[in-house]
Structure 1
Amino acid sequence: MNNSLDVVQIRRITAEQTVPLRHSVLWPDFPASHVLLADDAAGLHLGAFIPSEDTPVAVVSVFKESIPSSNTEEGGEPLPAARFRKLACDPAHRRRGIGSKLLEHMFNIAREELGCDVVWCDARVETQGWYERKGMRPFGEIFYKDNLPYIRMRRP
């Protein structure tokens, strides 16, 4: 039997190609400009595609960015870090492993291409368990963005 994930293709996309999914999934009650990032031009953007869709069904953007105030080893040297942002999966395609495959692909790119030992993000508290199942651990205190609780997560 074929694994449905075998048909998922992860490929690089433009920042502009991430916007419709970022907007509809993450901040639908705000204008689309709310999901644009000032550093989008410096990021690496990935999309997960399936044969029946012309547009990505999941997206993520990754940037070389240090972890705020805690990105050091025992000796005090900063660790090279990558931050991913705006991970979004079309609700019609959730629970199929597509987001997990995209996240793993992004972890590999952060390590192999960006040379980063640590990957981190600001995650909505409601998604913390999902990220923990992917090997990420929370750090820092809960904080809020537009009245939604967030926690920082990292994976070495």
Structure 2
Amino acid sequence: MEIKAIKASDTWQIRHEVMWPDQPFEFVQLEEDNFGLHYGVFENDKLVSIVSCFISNNEMQFRKLATLQSYQGKGIASHLLKYIFEVAREKKLQKIWCNARKEKKEFYEKFGMVDTEEVFTKAGQEYTIMEILL
């Protein structure tokens, strides 16, 4: 398993396949992608998991954490999350946060993230904002 910086466009296929397969491909292309840091996990030179990070005001928001179905349940996303938390610490950021799908809340709690109880719905999905202070 190897984690590398990747281009925004490298994230789109996995975002689409894993998170929004019923939406048009353009749905997963974010306007702010060009301003983000994007990381991917490679297994035998195959991109299998991705995340996009956006830094503003001493905070990092990570978005679109996704792992190909056949690679899920193997700790790959956990490894990637630990990696970006370390990136945030190296950059001396004060907070990391994300919009977590409600059904994934427990996953983020394992990393010390706290549910802010700010809930919203987007494209039929219910989200809650999770955060951790560094």
TM-score normalised according to structure 2 size: 0.95
User: C-alpha displacement at 1:37, in angstroms?
Assistant: 1.0
Query: Could you tell me which residue of structure 1 aligns to residue 68 of structure 2?
Result: 90
Query: Could you tell me which residue of structure 2 aligns to residue 56 of structure 1?
Result: 47
User: C-alpha displacement at 1:56, in angstroms?
Assistant: 1.2
Query: Could you tell me which residue of structure 2 aligns to residue 143 of structure 1?
Result: 120
Q: Structure 2: which 5+ residue stretches go unaligned?
A: none
CA distance in 1, matches of 2:117, 2:32: 24
- Structure 2 counterpart of 1:124, from 96, 101, 104: 101
1:71-116 alpha-carbon deviations (Å, 9 max, x no partner): xxxxxxxxx2100000001111111111000000011112213x31
Query: Could you tell me which residue of structure 2 aligns to residue 105 of structure 1?
Result: 83
Q: Secondary structure of 1:135's match?
A: coil
Query: Could you tell me which residue of structure 1 aligns to residue 130 of structure 2?
Result: 153
1:95-148 alpha-carbon deviations (Å, 9 max, x no partner): 1111000000011112213x3111000010010011111211110322101111
Q: How large is the Cα RMSD of the aligned pairs?
A: 1.1
Pick the structure with more strand per residue: 2
Return 21-30 or 136-145, whichever deviates more.
136-145
Q: Secondary structure of 1:11's match?
A: strand
CA distance in 2, matches of 1:105, 1:83: 14
1:34-85 alpha-carbon deviations (Å, 9 max, x no partner): 011111111000000111xx4311000001135xxxxxxxxxxxxx210000
Query: Could you tell me which residue of structure 1 aligns to residue 111 of structure 2?
Result: 134
Give aligned pairs, total: 133
Q: How does 1:37-52 map to 2 (within 5 A)?
A: 37-51=30-44
Q: What stretches of structure 1 move > 4 A for 4+ residues in a row?
A: none
TM-score normalised according to structure 1 size: 0.82
Query: Could you tell me which residue of structure 2 aligns to residue 77 of structure 1?
Result: none
CA distance in 2, matches of 1:132, 1:44: 23
Equivalent AA in structure 2 for residue 155 of structure 1: I
